[in-house]
Amino acid sequence: MTILYYDCFAGISGDMNLGAMVDLGVPPDHLEAELGKLKLDGYSLRISKGEKNGISGTKVDVELKEAKHSHHHRRGFNDIKNLIENSELDKKIKEYSIRIFRKLAEAEAKIHNKTIEEIHFHEVGAVDSIVDIVGAAICFHYLKPDKIMASSVEVGGGFVKCEHGIFPVPAPATAELLAGTPIKSGAVNTETTTPT
């Protein structure tokens, strides 16, 4: 049995996850080629090796090419679902990606007292978040773990600015997604875990 274990002592985010997946053996060329099947413009991946405190790791950054693809670009759940469904990605990657976005839509809908059809994603709808989430599904499909597990999740501390104002960490969508999950907070005074 192959277990993919996330040690989230410093939180978790889309870019952190993609870097870890590349370190686990997902070829960067494979990740980029699969993401190309999305037919999503306006970004490029920058994948680099680095070292921090004597430990090496891979950093994956989604670099936006056009200002119109900012963190404030709005997309509805159905827009994202259609983008994924109309891609040339493997059926399982599509299903997993849509399932993740549905969970995000349900979390956003709950905190804003709306239906998922009324939700327009803010940070989550941005190009970089779509790449992070679909990229994760691509990596899981490539690695094929039998089980995915995680430690308690460090969420950080302080405050974060969202579209609807300034909120304590974890941000509302993150808190909703982590409901029932063991978390830790306050190791640092910044947001260390994001919805993506």
SS3 label, residue 119: coil
Q: What is the pTM of this model?
A: 0.91
CA distance 23 to 62: 17
pLDDT score for 69: 42
Q: Phi/psi of residue 4, each to 5°?
A: -95, 115
pLDDT score for 141: 98
10 burial via Cβ count (<10 Å: 0-12, 13-18, 19+): middle
Residue-level pLDDT, tens digit, the chain, 196 residues: 999 999 999 999 999 999 999 999 999 999 999 999 998 988 899 999 999 899 999 999 998 876 544 445 578 899 999 999 999 999 999 999 999 999 999 999 999 999 999 888 765 557 888 999 999 999 999 999 999 999 999 999 999 988 788 999 999 999 999 999 999 998 899 999 999 8
CA distance 139 to 27: 9
pLDDT score for 64: 82
Contacts of 25 (CB under 8 A, 6+ apart): 143
177 burial via Cβ count (<10 Å: 0-12, 13-18, 19+): buried
